[in-house]
Amino acid sequence: MVETIVFYTLSALILGLGVAVITTPNTVHSVLFLVMNFLCVAVIYVVLEAEFLAVIQVLVYAGGIVVLYLFVVMLVNLKRDPEAHQDPRRLSLVGLALAGAVLLELAGIVVYSYSREPSAPVAAAAASPVQGNVEQIGWLLYTDYLIPFEVASVLLLVAMVGAIVLAKREL
């Protein structure tokens, strides 16, 4: 019962804030709605027993990435409305309609596939020797997923170098 109430409240918040992000004309307000959206998603992670991801979501998304967005919004000191000029060949309504169609299709797939049979929990991964959410994720990252983990770190390094090269006026 509690989970039902929490889920519907959070879903309404997440979707409402998501719509607010893409409809607000003021970019700074939009960024703020995005932060609130991410915080609600973090709460949903807590409901889903993923407390490590909830904290990482707040730390990386809300505390890092979105601050970067806010910074760029302030650096990009716009003299005219960014939406002022529209390409005459742009078909926004068609895009909206197609997105609605995809939503219907996804909803159909979800309802169909989950209603056919209650899929039994597959055999859990090989019993990890540690307890607790953080420990288990750490264990998986440093055993089975060591190479993807290292690749991700290289990706971040490349992104860092690339961002500096792109943003610096002259090297």
Partner 1 sequence: MEITPAHYALLSAALFIIGVVGVLVRRNIIIIFMSIELILNAVNINLVANARHLENLVGQVFVVFVIAVAAAEAAVGLGILLAFFRNKETVNIDEMNVMRW
Partner 2 sequence: MIDLVIIPLFKIAVVLNGVLVSVTFMVLLERKVIAWAQSRLGPMRVGPWGVLQAIVDPIKLILKEDITPTKADKWMFTLAPILSLVPALVVFSVVPFGGDALFYITDINVGLLFIISVTSIGVYGIILAGWASNSKYPLLASLRAAAQLISYEIAVTMTLVSVILTAGTLSMVGIVEAQQETGFWFGFVQPVAFVLVFIGGLAETNRIPFDLPEAEQELTGGFHTEYSGMRFALFFLAEYANMIVIAAVVTALFWGGWLRPFPSVDALFPSVGALSFLNLAFLDLIPSWVWFFGKMFVFLYLFIWIRATLPRYRYDQLMRIGWKVLIPIALANIVVTAVVKVWLL
Residue ranges in contact with partner 2 by CB under 8 A: 28-29, 32, 35, 51-52, 55-56, 58-59, 62-64, 67, 70-71, 74, 132-134
Q: Which of 29, 146, 150, 160 binds partner 1 (CB under 8 A)?
A: 160
As a whole number of angstroms, the distance between CA 55 and CA 62 comes to 10
Specify burial of residue 44 (Cβ count, 10 A radius: 0-12, 13-18, 19+).
middle
* Least distance from partner 2 to the Cβ atom of residue 22, Å: 19
- Minimum Å gap between C-beta 98 and partner 2 is 34
Asked if 131 interacts with partner 1 (CB under 8 A), we say no
51 binds, among partner 2, partner 1, none (CB under 5 to 8 A by kind): partner 2
Which CB, 49 or 129, lies closer to partner 1?
A: 49
- Contact status: 85 vs partner 1 (CB under 8 A): yes
Please report, in angstroms and rounded to a whole number, the separation of the first and last CA atoms in the chain.
Answer: 59
| 39 within 8 A of 62, measured Cβ to Cβ | yes
Please give the Cα distance from 103 to 111 (Å, whole number).
12
